[in-house]
């Protein structure tokens, strides 16, 4: 058997995509809408406080295109917390005006391909900051799930550790050339959801998503082994922008 890559796991992730039922939302009376918005604001506040206490992180974006209208990306310490969070949200009045568009369950993951030095990586504050990241509130988000191919001729899992490490080195070099422009959070989902990884990218300039993803397509690990699901791209929402979006 080939040497399995060692992984470190951090916070669990839930990407919760919702579509707004605009017909019902517009038909609701002012009082109902105001109540629903107030409840939504209470949630936003709670998520902010939780982020300040560094026990999790949440980012909210509106989705461009017809796949969904909103995404709530939550990072929490356990699947139980994520479950409680989505259930609480589902019980709100606002949730009655949404339908579930898509969701993705995964866990923040770092692999040992480029690991340096010995010792307990979890004792390293930089590693911990990557495993339990506060989600950047950049102007834009891009999310897509992906696999590494397991075909007879191109099977990622049949390559030696050294071959995989070499390709990941090249991948990392391209990624690093986008430092300051794109921040990536890779979440592992083998055994948790339908694809092997979730890729979440954050940038102030959405064009950088296109440039980075395109450049990576020419890199061997993506060119030969990458298989991709649907792409979602969105714009940052804060309390004010959410009110604006939901104004009728
Ligand atoms: C913003 C840029 C950026 C940077 C700097 C970066 C760097 C790195 C490093 C150094 C490492 C390896 C160590 C670790 O940290 O795990 C990874 C790991 C990974 N990546 Fe990456 N990646 C980026 C960006 C980035 C993108 C855009 C994609 C999607 C690929 C594409 O073609 O659309 C991606 C995917 C992944 C995946 C699925 C993994 C896990 C692979 C596995 O087999 O385990 N990644 N990645």
Distance CA 159, CA 170 (A): 16
Lowest mean pLDDT among 39-48, 92-101, 118-127: 118-127
Q: pLDDT-derived band of residue 178, with 50, 70 and 90 as boundaries?
A: very high
Is residue 97 within 8 A of residue 20, CB to CB? The reply is: yes
Distance CA 73, CA 20 (A): 17
pLDDT of 219 reads 98
Mean pLDDT of 226-239: 98
Tally: H helices and E strands in the chain: 9, 9
Residue closest via CA to ligand 1's atom 9 equals 172
Q: What is the pLDDT of residues 67-118, one digit of tens each?
A: 999 999 999 999 999 999 999 999 999 999 999 999 999 999 999 998 876 7
Percent residues over pLDDT 90 in the chain: 95
Q: What is the pLDDT of residues 196-223, one digit of tens each?
A: 999 999 999 999 999 999 999 999 999 9
Q: Is the ipTM of this complex over 0.90?
A: yes
pTM over 0.95: yes
According to DSSP, residue 193 is labeled S
Residue from 144, 157, 171 whose mutation best tests the ligand 1 pocket (most atoms within 8 A of CB): 171
Percent residues over pLDDT 70 in the chain: 100
List of residues 6+ apart from 208 with CB closer than 8 A: 178, 181, 182
Question: For the chain, what is the mean pLDDT?
Answer: 97
Distance CA 71, CA 202 (A): 13
Q: Reduce the secondary structure of 66-117 to three states and give it as a string.
A: CCCCEEEEEEECCHHHHHHHHHHHHCCHHHHCEEEEEEEEEEEEEECCCCCC
Q: What is the pLDDT of residues 141-161, one digit of tens each?
A: 999 999 999 999 999 999 999
pLDDT of 119 reads 84
Is 242 touching ligand 1 by the criterion CB < 6 Å?
no
Q: Any idea of the CA torsion for 89, 95, 100, 103, to the nearest 10 degrees? A: -20
User: How many angstroms separate the alpha carbon of residue 184 from the centre of ligand 1?
Assistant: 8
Known binder of ligand: residue 148?
Answer: yes
At 71, list the tokens.
């995404």
Q: What is the pLDDT of residues 10-24, one digit of tens each?
A: 999 999 999 999 999
* Number of residues that this document lists for the chain: 248
Known binder of ligand: residue 130?
Answer: yes
pLDDT of 30 reads 97
Distance CA 184, CA 109 (A): 11
Q: Answer whether residue 241 shows pLDDT above 90.
A: yes
Strand 7-20 relative to strand 98-111, pairing: antiparallel
Is residue 241 within 8 A of residue 61, CB to CB? The reply is: no
């Amino acid at each position: 058997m080939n040497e399995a890559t060692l992984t470190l796991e951090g916070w669990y992730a839930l990407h919760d995509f919702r579509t707004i039922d605009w017909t019902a939302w517009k038909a609701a009376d002012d009082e109902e809408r105001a109540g629903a918005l107030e409840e939504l604001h209470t949630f936003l506040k709670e998520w902010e406080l939780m982020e300040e206490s560094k026990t999790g992180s949440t980012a909210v974006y509106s989705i461009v295109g017809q796949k969904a209208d909103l995404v709530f990306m939550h990072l929490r310490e356990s699947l139980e917390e994520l479950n409680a969070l989505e259930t609480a949200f589902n019980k709100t009045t606002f949730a009655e005006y949404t339908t579930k568009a898509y969701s993705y369950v995964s866990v923040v993951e770092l692999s040992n391909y480029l690991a340096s030095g010995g010792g307990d990586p979890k004792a390293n504050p930089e590693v911990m900051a990557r495993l339990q990241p506060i989600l950047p509130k950049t102007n834009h988000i891009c999310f897509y799930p992906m696999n590494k191919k397991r075909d007879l001729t191109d099977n990622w899992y049949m390559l030696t550790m050294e071959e995989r490490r070499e390709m990941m080195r090249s991948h990392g070099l391209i990624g690093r050339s986008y430092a300051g422009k794109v921040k990536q959070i890779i979440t592992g989902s083998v055994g948790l959801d339908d694809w092997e990884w979730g890729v979440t990218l954050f940038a102030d300039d959405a064009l950088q998503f296109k440039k980075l993803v395109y450049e990576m397509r020419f890199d061997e690990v993506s060119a030969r082994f990458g298989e991709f699901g649907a792409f979602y791209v969105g714009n940052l929402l804060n309390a004010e922008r959410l009110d604006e979006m939901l104004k009728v």
